[in-house]
Amino acid sequence: MDYVFEHLNNNSILVVLIIVLLLWSGIFIFLMGLNKKVKELEKLVSKDDV
């Protein structure tokens, strides 16, 4: 257990980096999903206009 804590302590910058990259990936996936939904809705609205 001590080894794990020591390892995390020595590599804290990498732990922070992994957390930040995961957060950014989550935000990106959310935005891509929203982008897809908006495109579909725009198609529906433009069809209704026609």
Task: By CB under 8 A, name the binding residues for other proteins.
Answer: 13-14, 16-17, 20-21, 24, 28, 31-32, 34-35, 38, 41-42, 45
8 or 14: whose CB is closer to other proteins?
Answer: 14
1 or 19: whose CB is closer to other proteins?
Answer: 19
| Biggest alpha carbon–alpha carbon distance for the chain | 68
Residue carrying structure tokens 């939904």: 37
Residue carrying structure tokens 């935005």: 31
1 or 9: whose CB is closer to other proteins?
Answer: 9
